[in-house]
Structure 1
Amino acid sequence: MRASRLMSILLLLQTRDRVTAQELAEQLEVSVRTVYRDMESLSAAGIPVYGDPGHDGGYRLLDGFRAKLNLLTTDEAESLFLAGLPSAASDLGLGAIVTAANLKVMSALPPELRDRAGRVAERFHLDAPGWYSESEPTPYLTTVADAVWNERALRFNYIRWATPHLVTRTTEPLGLVLKSGNWYLVGHSDTRIRTYRISRIMELQVLDDPVTRPPDLSLAAYWSTYLESFDQRRHHDSARIRLNAETFDRLPELLDPAAARAARASATAPDATGLREIDFPIESFDRALPDLLRLGAGAEVLAPAPLRARMATETAAMARAYR
Structure 2
Amino acid sequence: MQINRLFEIVYILFDKKTITARELAEHFEVSKRTIYRDIETLSMAGIPIYTNKGKGGGINILPEFILNKSLLSGSEQDEILSGLQSLSALNVPSVDPVLNKLATIFNKKNASWIDVDFSHWGSDDSEKEKFKLLKNAILEKNVIIFDYYSSYGEISKQRFVEPMKLVFKGQSWYVYGYCKLKAAYRMFKVTRIKNLAASNERFNRDLPKDILDTSDDSYKTQMTTIVLKIHSKMAYRVFDEFSTENITRNADGSFIVKSTIPESDWIYGYIMSYGEYAEVLEPIHIRETIVNKFKEGLKKYL
TM-score by length of 1: 0.51
CA deviations 1:89-147 (Å, max 9, x no partner) are 42x333434335525xx52xxxxxx45xx37x56x723334897266323524641442
Name the SS for the 1:205 alignment partner: strand
Which residue number corresponds to residue 88 of structure 1?
89
Structure possessing the higher radius of gyration over alpha carbons: 2
2: CA distance between counterparts of 1:130 and 1:304? 35
Give yes or no for contact 1:175–1:185 (8 Å, CA) kept in 2: yes
**Following TM superposition, by how much is the alpha carbon of 1:254 offset from its aligned partner in structure 2, in angstroms?**
0.8
Which residue number corresponds to residue 25 of structure 1?
none
1:140 paired residue among 129, 133, 143 = 133
Give the letter for the 2:140 counterpart.
A
Which residue number corresponds to residue 166 of structure 1?
157
2: CA distance between counterparts of 1:182 and 1:275? 26
- % identity of equivalent residues: 12
Which residue number corresponds to residue 211 of structure 2?
222
Give yes or no for contact 1:177–1:184 (8 Å, CA) kept in 2: yes
Q: More strand by proportion, 1 or 2?
A: 2
Name the SS for the 1:169 alignment partner: strand
Give yes or no for contact 2:144–2:160 (8 Å, CA) kept in 1: yes
Give yes or no for contact 1:159–1:166 (8 Å, CA) kept in 2: yes
CA deviations 1:168-196 (Å, max 9, x no partner) are 2142x544557899976543344533345
Q: How does 1:1-323 map to 2 (within 5 A)?
A: 7-8=7-8, 10-15=10-15, 17-18=17-18, 36-38=26-28, 40=30, 43=35, 46-47=38-39, 61-63=60-62, 82-85=83-86, 87-90=88-91, 92-100=92-100, 102-103=102-103, 107=105, 114=106, 118=108, 121=110, 125-129=113-117, 133=121, 136-138=128-130, 139-141=132-134, 143-148=136-141, 154-162=142-150, 163-171=154-162, 173-176=163-166, 185-190=175-180, 191-196=183-188, 200=193, 202-208=196-202, 211-213=204-206, 217-218=208-209, 221-222=210-211, 241-243=228-230, 246=232, 250=235, 253-255=236-238, 259-261=241-243, 264=246, 278=257, 283-290=266-273, 292-293=274-275, 299-300=278-279, 304-305=287-288, 307-308=290-291
1: CA distance between counterparts of 2:170 and 2:52? 45
1: CA distance between counterparts of 2:239 and 2:220? 14
1: CA distance between counterparts of 2:170 and 2:57? 41
**Following TM superposition, by how much is the alpha carbon of 1:287 offset from its aligned partner in structure 2, in angstroms?**
4.0
1: CA distance between counterparts of 2:269 and 2:223? 14
Alpha carbons of 1:240 and 1:184: their partners in 2 closer, same or farther (altered >3 Å)?
Answer: closer
**Following TM superposition, by how much is the alpha carbon of 1:304 offset from its aligned partner in structure 2, in angstroms?**
2.6
Root-mean-square deviation (CA), in Å? Answer: 5.7
Q: More helix by proportion, 1 or 2?
A: 1
Aligned residues: 254
Name the SS for the 1:288 alignment partner: helix
2: CA distance between counterparts of 1:179 and 1:39? 53
CA deviations 1:153-210 (Å, max 9, x no partner) are x333223231224332142x5445578999765433445333456784723113255x
